[in-house]
Amino acid sequence: MRKQILATLLLVLSYGVLYAQDHPYKVVFDLTSKDSLSQLAAVRWAKGVASSNPNAEAEVVMYGKGFELVMPERSNVLEEVREVMKLPRVTFTACEAALRNNKVDKKQLLEGTHTVPDGIYEIVAKQRQGWAYIKVAR
């Protein structure tokens, strides 16, 4: 009886692993902090999602002070950001309201950074489309 239960459990787990690898997933990361450890975590996690499955998508949405991640003169992980930006299904998106509130012009952002009028709305919209949500915090 124990062998049958173990065999069934192994079969179910194997199916779950294979199913997850064959089906793409989408993750939106919520970054509000200018903290370098939080920023590095967001970059690494986005890279990890994109690397785990060729069809996976990741978007790092930055508002509050999170947009400093993509500001060349303020980012502590600029080279890592540039590397991950080259991945085909990873997007870095800054909130235009946060930029205005902090008197930052879009031209000060790293080339390739997307912007949206409202970062929170972007996250909510992604969740409605079935994207998983991860809050980046230390």
Contact present, 52 and 24 (Cβ < 8 Å)? no
The tokens describing 87, both together, are: 């991945």
Report pLDDT for 50. Answer: 92
Report pLDDT for 3. Answer: 58
Report pLDDT for 22. Answer: 59
Report pLDDT for 31. Answer: 98
DSSP string, 5-59: HHHHHHHHHHHHHHHHHHS--EEEEEE----HHHHHHHHHHHHHHHHH-TT-EEE
> pTM of the entire structure?
0.82
Render pLDDT for 109-122 as a digit per residue (tens, 0 to 9). Answer: 999 999 999 999 99
Indicate the domain borders of the chain: 24-135
Report pLDDT for 6. Answer: 46
The tokens describing 137, both together, are: 């915090």
Under-50 pLDDT residues of the chain: 6-7, 9, 12-19
Q: Give one word for 64, left, alpha or beta, with left for phi > 0 and alpha for psi -120 to 50.
A: left
Rounded Cα distance, 17 and 124, in Å: 28
| Multiple choice CATH, 24-135, 3.40.50.970, 3.40.1260.10, 3.40.50.1820, 3.40.50.620 | 3.40.1260.10
Report pLDDT for 9. Answer: 45
